[in-house]
Amino acid sequence: MRKIFIPALFALALTGCGDSAPEKSAASEAGNSDQAGSAVLTGKVRLDGSSTVFPISEAIAEEFGAVAPKVRVTVGVSGTGGGFKKFINQETDISDASRPIKDSEHDKATAAGVDFIELPVAYDGISVVLNLENDWVDHLTVEELNKIWAPDSTVTTWKDVRDGWPDEPIRLYGPGTDSGTFDYFTGVINGKEQASRGDFTASEDDNVLVQGISGDKYSLGYFGFAYYIENQDKLRAAPIEGPNGIVSPTEVTINDGTYAPLSRPIFIYVNVAALDKPEVAAFIDFYLETAPKIASEVGYIPMPESVYDGAKNRVKNRITGSAYNKGATLERLVTH
């Protein structure tokens, strides 16, 4: 498989991906006039950051290796916050982030002379998951989630959440406090990032959460959509009542934004100075071209076409800074 696949992509890249190419592969979709040049590019592209974004960046780095084999792309996993630290230190060219950059991080970047472009690459829908034997929860409201997860929560049994539910202790599972998922969930549900009750089983490894929840009838937990999709036979996702009514997380509801408020965009941030290097520029072009296809392959939801067009526009016109921040919408990002 590998031996046929990669030379084929390579050949497509070399020939500049003519219209006559019979099959549209990831590489040929990215085909533009730069492609023929990619094969001779050299140098390094350094990425680091969120473990949530890692599968997408890794997959794109892998595909990019087929069209630009001499460019050394590396992807690290330091978490969103850890990634930004390295990004501000100029140890990386691109930072993976599962939340928008914080004001404090933005200030530090400015102080260090790091200008960046913010690019949304996909959606993730944080899924609230239950044990398969849990037959009493038909849906959960945002208020109920807040009641469960608030820092001063008094909920100890399912009955405390809603009358009529079993008088059994509720056992909670969630991601660790360094995770962007934790930041986003607590921000949306509890109104303040990092504000959460502490007596839950926390793990940075989502597989541990899957194990815990699938083995415990009275459990409740939350993590990224990709892990829910892979484990649908072991868990079920609770429909969430938000501004658009009661909605379950699916590819459709996350993509069109009806799965609210737990849908979140995930980003890459690129250093503008690094973008002057042709290998970084080629990689970013390739990233934005292939992101829709790759994102769905690795369990994320592609954004609407217009958002990617907006992102390409930001790169082309070097529009720096963070647009998606403090409740701003993706539309704002597109029109910028």
Partner 1 sequence: MTLANDNPANQQAAAAARLKRRHLVSWAFEKACLTLTLSAVVVLGILLWQVFSDGIHWLDLQFLQSFPSRFVEKAGVKSALYGTLWLVSLTALISLPIGVLGAIYLEEYAPTSRLTRIIEINIANLAGVPSIVYGILGLAIFVRFMGLERSVLAGAMTMSLLILPVIVISAKEAIRAVPSSIRLAAFAVGATQWQVVRAHVLPEALPGILTGVILALSRAIGETAPLIMIGALTYVAFIPEGPMDEFTALPIQIFNWTSRPQAEFHELAAAGIIVLLAVLLTMNAVAVYIRYRGTRR
Q: Smaller CB distance to partner 1: residue 86 or 312?
A: 86
- Taking the least distance from each CB to partner 1, the nearer of 57 and 181 is 57
CB of 74 to partner 1, least distance (A): 4
Q: Which is nearer to partner 1, 54 or 149 (CB)?
A: 54
How near is the Cβ of 94 to partner 1 at its closest, in Å? 12
3-state class (DSSP) for residue 203: strand
Neighbours of 82 (CB within 10 A): 16
58: burial class by Cβ within 10 Å (0-12, 13-18, 19+)? middle
Q: Please choose, from the candidates 264, 286, 249, the residue with its C-alpha nearest in 3D space to the C-alpha of residue 39.
A: 286
Q: Do 224 and 124 touch, CB atoms closer than 8 A? A: yes
Q: How far is the CB of 6 from partner 1 (least distance, A)?
A: 9
- State in angstroms the smallest separation of the CB of 158 from partner 1: 27
146 or 250: CB nearest partner 1: 250
Cβ of 19: how many Cβ atoms within 10 Å? 6
- Judged by beta carbon, residue 88 or residue 323, the one nearer partner 1 is 88
Q: Quote the DSSP letter at residue 168.
A: S
Greatest CA separation found in the chain?
67
Q: Which two tokens stand for residue 89?
A: 């230190």
Nearer to partner 1, 287 or 324 (CB): 287
Instruction: Determine the residue type at 310.
Output: G
The secondary structure element, H or E, covering residue 328 is none
Name the amino acid, one letter, at 197. R
* CA gap 162, 169 in Å, rounded: 13
Minimal distance, residue 48 CB to partner 1, in Å: 7
Cβ proximity to partner 1, 77 vs 195, nearer residue = 77
Min dist CB 210 to partner 1, Å, is 8
What 3 state SS string does 80-117 have?
HHHHHHHHHCCCCCEEEECCCCCHHHHHHHHHCCCCEE
Instruction: With CA atoms as reference, report the closest residue to 96 among 254, 228, 249, 265.
Output: 265
CB of 267 to partner 1, least distance (A): 18
Q: List residues binding partner 1 (CB under 8 A).
A: 1-2, 5, 44, 46, 48, 51, 54-55, 57-59, 61-62, 65, 72-78, 86, 91, 205-207, 210, 226-227, 229-231, 297-299
Q: How far is the CB of 70 from partner 1 (least distance, A)?
A: 9
Nearer to partner 1 by Cβ, of 206 and 285: the residue is: 206
* DSSP-derived secondary structure letter, 134: -
